[in-house]
Structure 1
């Protein structure tokens, strides 16, 4: 059996597992945050607030926002989107260090 075929198969399997993990993460994000919001809305009469009070409360937004940031980083890793450290950035850094090493080696000639 061809080893390249095995490598491609393993790589594809790893990608599918990463996608599955992301979709599970996304599902849990919406289910748990929605459940927390419903619990806050149901508990509103107990605290004497109006209906919109818990929706606009910071703790409601904080959970969605902070977890959402983590979810965004997870998505960027799974889907290969990285605006800061993309392939072009990597090439520039490699060239920079190669040029630096070349200059240092020329010093000692």
Structure 2
């Protein structure tokens, strides 16, 4: 059986891997949508620069980017609000409540 320390490290590695996958998908999908939007705008007569700087192009980047930043904060700030200490406190709290309910 694996040690508790190993399991914690494994969880951190899994979280980091999940963040990098999220970042990769973010870049690929947003780049594809940007390419499609720019080519559509250029077909309508816009110059490349006008098509690229169209405000409609940045909504998905910004909204999804906010989610990506929050994901990064959760992964890289280990002592943050939802870090390991928070998880351990919640586990102890729920176990304590569960013990009281059985008495």
Q: TM-score, normalised by structure 1?
A: 0.65
Number of corresponding residues: 84
Distance in 1 of aligned mates of 2:35 and 2:28 = 11
TM-score, length-scaled by structure 2: 0.69
Query: Which protein has the larger Cα radius of gyration, Structure 1 or Structure 2?
Result: 1
Deviation at 1:61, TM superposition (A): 1.1
Runs of 4+ in 1 over 6 A off after TM superposition: none
Unmatched 5+ stretches in structure 2: 87-103
Render the CA deviation track for 1:48-83: whole Å, top value 9, x for unaligned: 222122321222111111111110000000011678
Map Cα deviations across residues 7-28 of structure 1 (whole Å, 9 max, x no partner).
1111111111100000000001
Partner SS for 1:49: coil
Tell me whether 1:69 sits opposite 2:73 in the alignment. no
**Structure 2 counterpart of 1:36, from 33, 52, 56:** 33
